[in-house]
Structure 1
Amino acid sequence: MEARALTSDTFWEVDVPVMMGADHPAPEGIPPLIYFQTSGSTGVPKWIGLSREALQVSARTVNEHLGVTRESCWVLTLPLHHVGGFGVASRTWQAGCRMVSFEGKWDPFRFVQWIVGQGGTHLSLVPTQVHDLAAAGLRAPASLEAVVVGGGILMEDTGRAARELGWPVLASYGMTEAGTQIATQRLELLDQPYVKEPIDLLACWEARDGKTGRIEIRGDALFSGILKHGGDQWKYEARSGDWFATSDSGLVEGRKLRITGRTDALVKILGELVDPVAVEAALISQAAGLVAPGQAVVVAIEDTRAGNKLVLAHEKSVKRELLELALEAYHASCPGYCRIKDLVAVEGIPKSPLGKPLRKELSRIIAQGSI
């Protein structure tokens, strides 16, 4: 589906189901929602269904939070079948403003040259893209007012380097089930050095600390249900209850969030619960911004003695000496059960279309020795 179609009145007023990015028509009899494909913690594909009303609540709230007006211009850099890219189109329609799309393979130099002539004011990027822009020393176009960074954690060294180059980066937290953003830092913070947390809860959301350690959310932009395919049949399951337990652990401090990790990523090592993603963030921070997100990934591999062990997989383009120095600094203060046991070079880290590392696939590759 083209971006132009998503910014038309017809798309938002018609009451039919739409499966974004699907190569087949929507099955008969399912609710008239907008469905986005994602993979659960088990890796089984599922489709998250959101109503048009929920998506517009999200769009309107994000626009208000970021100061978007009819004179603004959203820049599309993410695929439309992903809720992050779709969100740019829905915000454009809601605000009645302009939208421009960056086509082709990501290239930071070409991107900056292109956007200078477009007059873009707002865009969403993933941490890898911000790293590329900062590492290349590329200054931001003067027209930019806000860059929402999602799809992972933007390290503080990279965020501060980007802000020094004029990129108005704001950390965000969101998910498909919420129609994109749940929390996004305020524009007022752009006058200060970048920090990755806390992140401000958007006006349409409530959040609380769940009994199971997961952050729970409630709001009018929440998904309606889940569509799954098993065998030859499709099955739709409506969401139950007002509150939704995310897969993320963290702290809710009034209207601010601090995300500490993913509960579905925790593993037991020597009897202790360990989050490989949190270990990775602590380790990469020791590399002083010289390693791009997704170039070095910490995964857990089964171990006979310890239950699991942590392995650092890195692309061969990353200098091993740099990672060894970062490991030395990290190991100087981490507890024993959080130590990295192996350093493995791979041709490439398997990633999603948005550049997120596919950790389960990477663990399987390393465990099988097929690197």
Structure 2
Amino acid sequence: MTSPFNFSENAPNQLLVNPKATKQEKNDLIYLQFEFEKNHGTKGYFLVPSSGSSKSENETVKLIALTQDAVITSAKRINEYFNFTADLNWGLVLPYFHVAGLGVYARAHFANSAVFFSDWEPGNLLNWINEKKIHLMSLVPTQIFDIVQRQIICPETVRIVFVGAASLSPELKEKALQLKWPIVEAYGMTETASMIAVKLEDQLEVMTGVSVAQTNDKLKIKCESLMTCAIQKVNNQVIFKTLENGWLQTEDRVEIKSKDGIKFLTLLGRDSDFIKINGEGVSLSQLRQALGAHPEMTLLALPNQRTGHEIVLAHETSVSRDTLKLIINEYHNKVRPFEFIKKIFAVEQIPKADLGKIKFKNLEEMIKGNPYEKL
């Protein structure tokens, strides 16, 4: 596939749009681009919709403005870190209209390597990898889940498979490793123009040229690949979010350690994932990991007047009663009693973004007032 991006100097701004987006969603993005260009001009930027999972009904998606220099810096940083060269082919089975796809094409462009694009078809994955001689890939956990379910053994040509560290469960990673998939967990976001840390052993190593610090346990990042700003319409008002003295403040809680001048991160979860039940601190991220890798179900924390919050399970109607019972029992064996599931909600389909991330706010709105089974 020919690159859909123009990496030449002074190229016009490039707005990344999902071809399957609704007319309203496309209009929202064009409007945000117009508002951005009033202040920043019409050249030199990639305007990338955030792939995040948190958005309310009265909000548009966030549009992240990345300079060409930011995207180029990120691509060259990753190429140099892993010594990616022209003879290593990229296989892309993620949308090109998100930062993951943009990052792959940028790395390939500056390494003079090839990119082969395909829709996600697990049944044809091996044939495609072998035919195109794929060496490098980026996947999301739902795709890893498909691979594990089908017990697909990785071809020997594949050298690295990047997967988001914040969302890959240890259980699923271990099963993929047993099938010989060379998983490398990476941490990054649209606002950083791709990954800024990689897990080669048991911790995320912060890459060269990236500074990290904390504010109230929340990670902040400084590097040359950060966004210029994020723009979003909330309650019909356009909101710009900019850097704070050159730092990007994230909502991710982390531990930071140093060794031999290198910084290492341990991800503790999103700040919004930390709740209290009966006065006890609870991490929803950790509870979801305890539940295991099941794309057709997830956990939510709903307000409760007596306890502060209660844990509920939302599952798709396709999940059988026996499967549900087994998974819940296994989960209850791993967690504290006040973290037990109190209610079960059934939905036709769990809402997800293009990259398979669950839209938790949408899901909460879906189950409001719905009948439930009490445990």
TM-score by length of 1: 0.85
Alignment of 1:31-70 (within 5 A): 31=40, 32=43, 33-38=45-50, 43=56, 44=59, 45-70=61-86
Alignment of 1:40-189 (within 5 A): 43=56, 44=59, 45-103=61-119, 106-150=120-164, 152-186=166-200
**CA contact 1:102–1:111 (8 Å) conserved in 2:** no
Q: Which structure 1 segments of 5+ residues have no match?
A: 190-196, 285-290
Aligned equivalent of 1:211, options 212, 215, 230: 215
User: Structure 2 CA distance, aligned partners of 1:112 and 1:14?
Assistant: 40
SS across alignment from 2:94: coil
**CA contact 1:178–1:222 (8 Å) conserved in 2:** yes
User: Structure 1 CA distance, aligned partners of 2:242 and 2:357?
Assistant: 28
SS across alignment from 1:264: helix
State the number of aligned residues.
348
Deviates more, 1:313-322 or 1:116-125: 313-322
- 1:344 CA displacement: 2.7
TM-score by length of 2: 0.85
- 1:171 CA displacement: 1.1
Q: Which amino acid aligns with 1:16?
A: P
In the alignment, what sits opposite 1:267? 275
User: Structure 2 CA distance, aligned partners of 1:370 and 1:46?
Assistant: 33
SS across alignment from 1:130: helix
User: Structure 2 CA distance, aligned partners of 1:143 and 1:135?
Assistant: 21
**CA contact 1:277–1:298 (8 Å) conserved in 2:** no
Aligned equivalent of 1:245, options 243, 249, 265: 249
Q: For each residue in 1:279-319, what CA deviation from the matched residue of structure 2 results, as whole angstroms up to 9, or x when unmatched?
A: 111222xxxxxx53x22200112223223211111223334
- 1:14 CA displacement: 2.4
Q: Percent identity?
A: 28
Q: RMSD between aligned alpha carbons?
A: 2.5
In the alignment, what sits opposite 1:287? none
Do residues 360 (structure 1) and 361 (structure 2) align? Answer: yes
- 1:145 CA displacement: 0.7
**CA contact 1:214–1:247 (8 Å) conserved in 2:** yes
Q: For each residue in 1:62-112, what CA deviation from the matched residue of structure 2 results, as whole angstroms up to 9, or x when unmatched?
A: 122233101111111111121111111111111111110013xx2212122
Q: Which structure 2 segments of 5+ residues have no match?
A: 18-25
In the alignment, what sits opposite 1:5? 4
In the alignment, what sits opposite 2:22? none
- 1:205 CA displacement: 1.3
Distance 1:332 1:353, change over 3 A: same
Deviates more, 1:150-159 or 1:82-91: 150-159
- 1:332 CA displacement: 3.8
Deviates more, 1:88-97 or 1:44-53: 44-53
User: Structure 1 CA distance, aligned partners of 2:289 and 2:206?
Assistant: 23
Do residues 305 (structure 1) and 309 (structure 2) align? Answer: no
Do residues 221 (structure 1) and 225 (structure 2) align? Answer: yes
**CA contact 2:94–2:355 (8 Å) conserved in 1:** yes
In the alignment, what sits opposite 2:352? 351
Aligned equivalent of 2:13, options 12, 17, 28: 17
User: Structure 1 CA distance, aligned partners of 2:204 and 2:188?
Assistant: 11
Q: Which amino acid aligns with 1:358?
A: K
Alignment of 1:293-332 (within 5 A): 294-332=295-333
Q: Which structure has the higher relative contact order (CA within 8 Å, separation 6+)?
A: 2
Do residues 276 (structure 1) and 292 (structure 2) align? Answer: no
- 1:56 CA displacement: 0.9
User: Structure 2 CA distance, aligned partners of 1:40 and 1:102?
Assistant: 24
**CA contact 1:126–1:152 (8 Å) conserved in 2:** no
**CA contact 2:290–2:334 (8 Å) conserved in 1:** no
Distance 1:236 1:344, change over 3 A: closer
